[in-house]
Structure 1
Amino acid sequence: MDDLCKKLDWRSEFQRLEGAYAPATMRAYVADVEAFETWCLTKGLGHPFPAKVETVCRFLEDEGRTKAASTVRRRLYAIRKVHRLLRMPDPTHDEDVTLAQRRVRRGKPRRPQQAKGLTRTYLERFLETEPDTPWGLRNRAMLSLGYELLTRRSELVALRDEDLTHREDGTMRVLIRRSKSDPFGDGRIAFTSVRTADLMREWIAWRGPGIGSLFCPIYQEKPINRSLETTTVKRLIKNAARRVGLDEAEIDAFSGHSMRVGAAQDLLASGFDTAAIMRAGGWKSVNVLARYLEFAEHNVWA
């Protein structure tokens, strides 16, 4: 009976992951295990755990017919994680599972989609169209800071006042404490221009003290003491693109990563080498950075 309850209660076991993984990773794990659980039930296989090797293989191949290879790979990692949490025999390292995953990947050769870069040219146009309202004040500061720090959207909304240091030359020193490639919060240091620092000071003066997050929601022209959702970053970029009159296809190509992508492309076009750009943006993988930079190559040799 105890073992049966344990099988049925994998969600409570996932609570052990809290604090060790980012909230987005936690949500993805739960969604992926739920997808596997639902698939097993629809196939009449009963409770999925512990899973058999052939069950995992069938699931991966079925998912591969409609899902991206990266999604299927993430599903596999989630199944592996739940077996370990439940201390059950893990079928995911079996050679047949490895082969099933490779078949999915080879059956869907595709290049990863890349967000459109919000380069300096776009940034200037976007800043000009922000309205003279509290929201426009905040958004100008966010766009400018996100671009200059090459932040991910999660890094941008996680910033706090104490992460900023005002410098004598009018710029700011910023500590980015935690990121996707820095899960333990060692952090990296970045610096702003005088213009961005001025935008930040203007925003902070309007927002006032007593707010935990550097950027916060605004309701009825009053700051709300909580952090912004990461989706806000994507939305304000797309809204700015819409205001300057870009077509819908171009607007759709922008994402919350666009500031990071565009700033990296501008650095390359300005003559900075890969090592310098990796340091500036906190990249650990040359391959990931290369995808960001490939659309900037024509600027270098033009």
Structure 2
Amino acid sequence: MRHMSHYEKIQHVINQLNGAYAPNTLRSYYADAKSFVDWCEQRKTKPFPLVSDTVRGFIEHMQLDYSYSTIRRRLSALRRLNGLLGFEDQTFTEDVYLAIRKLKRAKCLEQRQAVGINEDLLVKMIEAQPDTLVGKRNRLLLSLGYDFLARRSELVAIRNEDLTFTQDGALKGIIRRSKTDQYGNGRLVFGSERSAKLLRKWLKLKPKEIQPVFCAINHGRCLDRAICDRQVNEIIKQGLVRVKRYPRPNDLEVSGHSLRVGAAQDLLTKGHDIAAIMRAGGWSEPSTVSRYLRFAEHNIWK
């Protein structure tokens, strides 16, 4: 690796991690490292091995534009890559520790939470979809995203064999792999009668040989590949904009997490405890779910 650029060395190390980490984690590693290398090159500073002064300066630089959680994530990624490149970590110093402490006091520690899309708004978004091939696919995506409390990556990975109609007219599914289930143990999920009806309509239109449920569509034809997870964000935002004459959040306040947040909030107001909500959404930490539920309109005095 002697004659490689810093970018090539980073990519080489990340390629060795394929299969051991989720693809999104590896993309995040590369993006975080690239940001650091770009900053170092602008200042004619050697990025690796990591040294205390350089890392402290990078933390202070990021403080202007990034949240505390983003900066901590980037620092963690850089330390991991530094070790994989064969270097000793020289950043556990008082200078770096104090920079993090100052950052922690200066920044709000709470992550910005996507606004939840609750069931009443969800129904309006589904109804507002156009009566086209894309619109019918998107109706199902919105409905299942809410019912399954699914992450973007989980939604786009769903295949025909993962869904089963139940005798009571609803739907049962399996999420085979997720952010908190990297080894593919899977989790059982359930869908509403609304989702079951939308799925039946969609399966009549989508060719049987195409396995991804949420397949890409081009010029009115279904393609034999799934949409990318970033497209889920766009579908949610566009679906929100289509809703007229109904109270709704700004499209900038929602994300691919909004269906998941809204469903968790609705489960709380319906009386389900946090253990049931965690199981439904595949959460491993109660603290994560608690952040989702902070703004649930759940008046315990009524």
Relative to the length of structure 1, the TM-score reads 0.92
Amino acid of the residue matched to residue 296 of structure 2?
A
Is the CA contact (8 Å cut-off) linking 1:129 and 1:244 kept in structure 2? yes
| Residues 270 and 206 of structure 1, relative CA distance in 2, 3 Å threshold | same
Q: For residues 225 and 299 of structure 1, do their structure 2 counterparts lie closer, same or farther at Cα, with a shift above 3 Å needed?
A: farther
Q: Hey, what does 1:224 align to over in structure 2?
A: 223
Change in Cα spacing, 1:294 to 1:78, as seen in structure 2 (3 Å) is same
Determine helix, strand or coil for the equivalent of 2:53.
Answer: helix
1:9 to partner: Cα distance: 2.2
The residue correspondences of 1:118-157 to structure 2 (distance < 5 A) are 118-157=117-156
Q: Aligned residue for 1:280?
A: 280
The one-letter amino acid paired with 2:160 is D
Query: What is the CA–CA distance in structure 1 between the aligned matches of 2:141 and 2:5, rounded to whole Å?
Result: 46
* Stretch of structure 1 that moved more, 167-176 or 223-232: 167-176
Listed as ranges, the gaps of 5+ residues in structure 2 are none
Contact 2:59 2:71 in 1 (8 A): yes
Letter in 1 for 2:185: D
Q: Which residue of 2 aligns with 1:214?
A: 213
For 1:169, the aligned partner's letter is: D
The one-letter code of the counterpart of 1:124 is V
Task: Report the more deviating stretch, 263-272 or 197-206.
Answer: 197-206
| 1:263 match: secondary structure | helix
Assess if the C-alpha contact under 8 Å between 2:268 and 2:298 holds in 1. Answer: no
- State the Cα deviation string for residues 192-231 of structure 1 (Å, max 9, x = none): 1223112112112210212131111111211011111112
Q: What's 2:23 paired with?
A: 23
Deviation at 1:265, TM superposition (A): 0.7
2:240 and 2:248 in contact (8 A); partners too:
no
| CA shift in 2, pair 1:214/1:3, >3 Å | same
Q: 1:1-302 to 2 correspondence within 5 Å?
A: 3=2, 5=4, 9-45=9-45, 47-245=46-244, 250-302=250-302
- Partners of 2:11 and 2:39 in 1: CA distance: 17
**Secondary structure in 2 aligned to 1:235?**
helix
Which whole-Å CA distance do the structure 2 matches of 1:67 and 1:226 have between them?
35
Amino acid in structure 2 at the alignment position of 1:292: Y
Shift of 1:266: 0.6
Query: Offset at 1:167?
Result: 2.5
- Measure how far apart 1:288 and its partner are: 1.4
- Match of 2:99, SS state, is helix
Q: Residue 95 of structure 1: CA displacement?
A: 4.5
| Long gaps (5+) in structure 1 | none
CA 1:249 to 1:258, structure 2 compared with 1: closer, same or farther past 3 Å? Answer: closer
Q: Could you state the TM-score of these two structures normalised by the residue count of structure 2?
A: 0.92
SS in 2 for 1:41: helix
SS at match of 1:208: coil
Contact preservation (8 Å) 2:69, 2:109: no
Q: Match for 2:213: what amino acid?
A: L
- CA-based RMSD: 2.1
Q: In the alignment, is the contact (CA less than 8 A) between 1:148 and 1:192 conserved in 2?
A: yes
- State the AA in 2 paired with 1:259: L
For 2:242 and 2:301, locate their aligned partners in 1 and report how far apart those are by CA, in whole Å: 32
Contact 1:79 1:92 in 2 (8 A): no
SS at match of 2:172: strand
| Distance in 2 of aligned mates of 1:14 and 1:43 | 25
For this pair of structures, how many residues does the alignment match? 300
Higher helix share: 1
